Homo-oligomer: A and B are copies of this chain.
Amino acid sequence: MSVRVGILGATGAVGQRFIQLLDDHPTFELAALTASDESAGKPYREAAKWRVDTPIPVDVAEMTVRRTDPDAVPDDLDLLFSSLPSGVAVDVEEDFARDGYVISSNSSNDRLAEDVPLTIPEINPGHLDLIEVQRDERGWDGALVKNPNCSTITMIPPLAALDEAFGLDRINVSTLQAVSGGGYSGVTSMEIIDNVLPHIGGEEDKMETESRKLLGDFDGAEIEWHDVDVAASCNRVPTLDGHLENAFVDLAEDDLEVSEIEDAMREFPGVDLPSAPNQLIHVFDDPERPQPRMDRMRGQGMQICVGGVQSTPHGVKFNCLAHNTVRGAAGASLLNGELLHENGYL
């Protein structure tokens, strides 16, 4: 009765997180791993330099890595998770989907494509049915589903809560992002010790566009993007994991109490999926929280933390935090995989 899953790009940082999160999963059984051609044919423990803070699962260590190609992967896989580099993913994911595979992908390509669902199960599960449009248009048996960028996903839950309760007009957001978001070798120590990098290529655009698609309406044919204005400034800081963000939000409603804001967030419903946290948003009363090192692992790294909610002359400001390689990457794809399963797409 278990669902057989594979991982495309299994040796990288996000690939390793997939393996960690799939260990002891109640429904998903890991059955195939792919990587670059140089790794193909090797046992996983040789192909990957394991860097996650829990040991490599014993059976995974001995699995043979396959080429990242539909012909090299068993036909009976129900679901593929993808953490391929986007330059590779853009072709490869389509090859797999055309070949009948259902893919839940963390890669950044195609997130804004009109017929590709970009989903967070707690926020816009209904967008998943864009798969029907996708299959019609592309003639695929498979499907391609995306989750948003780690910096986007950190702020969307509290913003969705505010949108539903009071209406969103405008967002300015500043990020303090962890180095793991750049991949294992993405940020050198010479760049970041005693420093901040005030620019992350493409990141601000992702936050500004993905947010509007995520918060948009799906009428069964297409997504109408939300018309909220978003301006983002993205910074890399010397933390290992956990993106912290300062949001300044104008709401359609005025004169709200801080407690009303906090209640809207606390009461925002979660979903009943194996990897979802009981409560989606945890709101701290203590203005000194959330902090990346202290709070990134709340809810097994899947909860969104909020704090420092305060009124401003035009709305509200608050801080939010999520674990960027769990909730912001592998955990996000995993949750979308669980939603695909729940909704009968596998």
Q: How large is the interface on A (under 10, 10 to 19, 20 to 34, 35 or more residues)?
A: 35 or more
For the complex, what is the distance from the CA of A184 to the CA of B188, rounded to whole Å? 7
Task: A174 to B184: give the CA distance in the assembly, Å.
Answer: 27
Given A53-B297, A292-B196, residue A231 in contact with residue B313 (CB < 8 A): yes
Evaluate contact between B195 and A239: CB separation under 8 angstroms: yes
A281 vs chain B, min Cβ distance (A): 16
Residues from chain B with a CB closer than 8 A to the CB of A141 are none
Q: Report the Cα distance A53→B298, complex, angstroms.
A: 10
Contact residue among B195, B307, B319 (Cβ-Cβ distance under 8 Å from A294): B195
**Nearest-CB distance from A283 to chain B (Å)?**
13
Complex CA gap A172/B240 in Å reads 27
The complex places the Cα of A176 from the Cα of B179 at a distance, in Å, of: 16
Contact A240/B174 with A185-B188, A199-B308, A313-B229 known, Cβ cut-off 8 Å = no
| Cβ-based interface call for A342 (8 A) | no
Q: Given A53-B293, A193-B240, A248-B248, list of 19 further CB < 8 A pairs?
A: A51-B190, A53-B294, A170-B314, A172-B312, A174-B174, A176-B176, A179-B190, A184-B190, A193-B193, A194-B240, A196-B291, A196-B292, A198-B287, A198-B290, A198-B291, A199-B287, A229-B314, A231-B314, A233-B319
In the complex, A195→B51 CA distance in Å? 13
* Residues of A284-335 whose CB lies within 8 A of B: 287-294, 297, 307-308, 312-314, 317, 319
A246 at the binding interface (Cβ < 8 Å): yes
Contact between B244 and A308 (Cβ–Cβ < 8 Å)? no
Instruction: Tell me if A233 and B190 are in contact (CB < 8 A).
Output: no
Q: Are B240 and A237 in contact (CB under 8 A)?
A: no
Within 8 A of B (CB), among A234-250: 235, 237-240, 244, 246, 248
- Cα–Cα, bound, A224→B97 (Å): 65
Q: Which residues of B contact A239 (CB under 8 A)?
A: 193-196, 238
How far apart are A232's CB and chain B's nearest CB, in angstroms?
8
Given contacts A172-B172, A187-B188, A231-B248, contact A194 B196 (CB under 8 A): no
Instruction: Check if B194 sits within 8 Å of A191, measured CB to CB.
Output: no
* Contact between chains at A312 and B198 (CB < 8 Å): no
Chain B's closest residue to A298 (CB) is: B55
Known contacts A231-B317, A248-B233, A297-B53; A179 and B196 CB within 8 A of each other: no
B51, B184, B186, B291: which contacts A197 (Cβ < 8 A)?
A: B291
Closest 6 CB pairs of A and B: A174-B174, A233-B246, A231-B312, A229-B313, A172-B248, A195-B293
Evaluate contact between A292 and B195: CB separation under 8 angstroms: yes
Q: For A238, give its contact among B189, B288, B289 (CB under 8 Å).
A: B189
The answer for the CA separation of A319 and B174 in the assembled complex, in Å, is 11
The answer, yes or no, to whether A180 is at the interface (CB within 8 Å) is yes
Task: Indicate whether A252 reaches chain B with its CB closer than 8 angstroms.
Answer: no
A90 at the interface (CB under 8 A from B): no
